[in-house]
Structures are given as C-alpha cells and as structure tokens.
Amino acid sequence: MEEYKNIQSLLTDIYGEEKSSLAFKKIIPLIEKFPVKKGRAKDYFSQEDVVLITYGDSLNKNGEAPLKTLHAFANKYLKDVFSAIHILPFFQYSSDDGFSVVDFLSVNSELGAWKDIEVLGNDFQLMFDLVLNHISAKSRCFEQYLKEKRGFEDFAIEVEPSTDLSAVTRPRSLPLLTGFKKRSGKAVNVWTTFSADQIDLNYKSIDVLEKMVKVLLFYVTEGATILRLDAIAYLWKEIGTNCVHLRQTHSMVKLFRSILDRVSPDVMIITETNVPHIENLSYFGDGRDEAQMVYNFTLPPLLFYTFTREDSAVLSEWAKGLHLKSKTNTFFNFTASHDGIGVRPLEGILPKKEIDKLVEVVVKNGGRVSYKKNPDGSESPYELNITYVDALLKNKKVLDTYHADKFLATQAIQFVLPGIPAVYIHSILGSHNWEEGVKQTGRARTINRKKLKLDNVLQQLKDPETFRHKIFFPYIELIKTRKKHPAFHPNASFKILKIDPKVFAIKRYCESQTIYALTNISSEHVSVSLSGDKVLHEMKDLLTGKRFNTKSFVLNPYQFIWLSNTNI
C-alpha cells in the first residue's frame, strides 16, 4: 500500500520486519475508518496563538460542574485573549492529579462530561494530554495483565530485581521497579518510572501500540487540536541504555505524526521533555516529521535566575540560539505550569553553585525542592516547587513594592521571544504558594495547584488593591497587545541586542513591522540608548502609547517597553 509506505517504514524501524507486518495490519484499519479529514492550514502558527494551561477544576463554583465554570469564566474574561486552552488530564484517574490515568476514554465525572469538552471546544482550540508512557495500577488494562488475560500478557515491562539498571536516567528518587502478584501467584517486578501507581506501558507489545493509537484517534474526534505527548522521552526501554530519547522513541513520535498528517493534518503534536535544551530540540526531527512544538523548558529556570541575579547576560546568550531551521516548528514558551520549575534544562548553562543558589531562594520563599536519583546513587535537584509569583519575592516577610512589576516583567520577556506563549492559570491570576495544600497531600507539586473558589477570585479581581487585580488586568492587556503585531509571529525574525546587563533586549521583525522589546530585569533605573542599531530617533511604545527618544531614555525598575516604527 504505497500511501502508507512511511508508516510501514517506521513500524519496521521500531519492530523489525516480521513483527512490523502484524502491527501494520492492526493499525491501518484504524486509520482507514477514521472519520475526520481536515485540510492543512496555510500556516500552523500565528501571533494570535496564546495558550491557557489549567486543570479542569482550577476554578470552582458551588453546584456547578468545574468544566462549565471554566468555560463561563473563559468566555467572559479570556475570549479574545487566549486562542487555546490546555485542560490538564481530565480523565478518570487514581493519583498524580490526573497523570495516573485509569480510563483514557472517560471524563472524570467530578469535572463534567465529554459534552462540556465539546462545548468548550466551540469557543477555544483544545489541547489534550496523551499520557503515553504509563497508566494507573488501578486501570482495567493493568488488572487484565495481572489476571493474565489474552492480549495483555506483555502489557507491562517485567524486570528481574537483580538486573543492573544503574544506567537508566531517573526523573525521580523513587524505586524504578514495583512488585505485584499475578493471579497465578507469580510475583513480578514491573517498570514504574514515576510512581508505584504509574505502570510504564510496554511498547514492544503490538497490543499496547494498537490501544494507544486508538486513544490518539479518539482524542482527535473529541476535538483535540494539539496533543501533548506526556513524558515521551522515557517511552522505549532497552536494558543497558539510559532509556531516554532512544531511537525507537523518536520513531514512535514520527509514527504518531505520520498518522495525524494522514487523518487530520491540522492537529499538532507537542512533546513534553523536561531535559537539557539540546536534547529537547531533537524532538523537532528534521523539521517536518516529529513535533511541531516542543516545550521551551530552559526558559522558566533561566528567567528566574536572570531576575534573581539582575543580570541578563546568560539569558541573552542562550536566546541567540533560538533560531529554528523550519517554519513548521516553534517553541512552546512558558514560565510556570502545573509542575515546578525544572532544573535539568540548566545543565551546561549554569554551574552547580548557581543552581544551588536558586534552590536557596526557593526554600527561603516558602517553596519545596524535588530530587532525582543519579546513576551513582546520589540525589540532585530536579524541580523547584513554587508558584512563579512567589519565586520572585525579594523577601517573603517584607512587602515588596515592585513584586507585581517584577513578575509582569518576566512574563513580558516570555511574550517577545520566538514561539507560542502559554500561561498557567495561577500565573495570570497572581496566585501565591498553597502551603496548606502541601500539608494536605504531602506532595511538593501541590503548592502550585490550588483549587480556587470562583466567587473569591471574582471578588479579588474587582478590588484594585489586591495582588490578583494588579496582575490579571495588566496581563490581559499585555497579551492583547502582542496578538495585534505580526513582528511577534512565532517564526518572525529576531536579533538579541546587547545594551546593558540589566536589560534584556530583542529586536523582532518581519516585512511590515519592526519592534524593539526592552525589559529592565533589575530593581535599578537604567539609562538606555538604541542609537547603534539604525533606529528611528523617535518611536512609540505599543503598550502605553508613550513616545521615546531612542538616543537616550531611562527604564524604571522592571519596566518593559515595545518600541515600534509602525502604527499597526
């Protein structure tokens, strides 16, 4: 079948000649009966693309399904702001706030139903999590495996405890293997990368592959326009290797991309790989055969470091490397998410002593630190658990008059970099650490996952004196301004400018517009001149309408301006 030649080739690369034929016979019928046949848009990306990241129940109202509450709030306040909403796993689950999925095909009844997802999808594009690496230990599939049912024999990855697994890259400090007993009485130890309740799927089993391709296609029928491949880096395991970014993993991403390109080419893939920057870039493939987007995991910790040190030099040098070869790829820029601030992406950029200083700041500001296990048995910081708002505190016990300005300045940098910006709901709402939640769950990540009462949020948004108000409305205007300007297209050209260590400066430009985006990353007033870059002597700030003499002007502490030579 010539039209499926690429899919057949990828299956052969993953499984070998004989086994790939069996896989091909299982997958092709799923593709051929798929109902959605969309045409590819002219471009994947636009400057109007901005993604909201939220749990289905981040906002709650008495007597109302949380997904309905989210929809009502988004329609009233965010309709012309965000183009897409990433609803973090909203499926039936047993732990990890949704990432230990019991049933991939069912909506958590405590949140709502598929109808609520459909209605939300009428007003916003939707991003779903495809939790590929693992499934809940309480899922029916794993129960069938333990019962030794036909078709589930190779569902999990069994490993003898005596096996040398020291080379395996570990994102956690928990045991890699978890013991279970099958119905026959046989004791087995199965691979659990993230927790004892999250059973790694065995993709060497064609039955597993078939089941997950069905899930992939089902999500597209239910309205997903972006699919987030969760923890994809760990998908394929080979004893004796580090079991991260293996060739078969990349081939699997290519397989999913090839399937989507055939049945619904408008649906994009984004890979979630909390790893060093160079490793992260590998998931773009050749620019057209793997992910359209990758999470820019280096940005959150490096931006945090920049504002902590009040020095933009390292950030500016790193940002010079954000050029991409293909216009069909871009970065997914974010500063905060449901997880913490990853530390691994700083490897090779900052020395250990500087990372240790960031750990100290987080602890001082009421945060927590999650650790990973190293091959030599030692532990090192993996993730900083804190809201991005509170990470930027100068002194937790003293009122910081610049706190709101400082936080908004970090977000402004996120919005001027090449890529699509994504905003966690607790960032745009200016949420502080939820320390009570950590006490309740015993999990560090809970600190940035507070379930908010909608009435309380609305009351605070109405009060100009509250921190929420001071963050939310300027943030909204920031996004709306960005969306108007083609120079902020995710793939528009850019140049990092060297002006002052206390200023991050970037030139964004396209045929119709040039913008000079300057951000004071310090608590000091900084004198600035743009005269060396063939700039007009006077330009307007797109954010405030104020005109600046570009030969000489002063940026206030944490002030950011977007100077343009057009009136767009």
Q: Which residues are catalytic?
A: 230
**8 A C-beta contact, residue 135 and residue 199:** yes
CA distance 512 to 506: 17
Q: Is 174 exposed, middle or buried (0-12, 13-18, 19+ CB in 10 A)?
A: middle
Q: Is the dihedral of CA 520, 522, 527, 533 positive or negative?
A: negative
**8 A C-beta contact, residue 106 and residue 92:** yes
- What are 468's two structure tokens? 């929420």
Q: Which residues contact 368 (CB under 8 A, 6 or more apart)?
A: 340, 362, 384, 385, 386, 438, 444, 447
- What are 171's two structure tokens? 């994102």
- Pairing mode, strands 330-333 and 420-424: parallel
Q: Is 379 helix (H, G, I), strand (E, B) or coil?
A: strand
How far does Cα 135 stand from its chain's mean position?
A: 20
Other Cβ atoms within 10 Å of 238 Cβ, number: 13
232 DSSP assignment: G
Q: Which residues contact 321 (CB under 8 A, 6 or more apart)?
A: 277
Nearest to 92 by CA among 101, 84, 80: 101
CA distance 536 to 470: 33
- What are 523's two structure tokens? 């608590």
**8 A C-beta contact, residue 292 and residue 329:** yes
- Pairing mode, strands 341-342 and 379-385: antiparallel
- What are 104's two structure tokens? 């991939």
Other Cβ atoms within 10 Å of 115 Cβ, number: 12
Residue whose token pair is 């900084």: 526
How far does Cα 126 stand from its chain's mean position?
A: 14
- The string of DSSP letters for 393-421 reads -S-TTS--TTHHHHHHHHHHHHHHSSSEE
Which residue type does 75 have? N
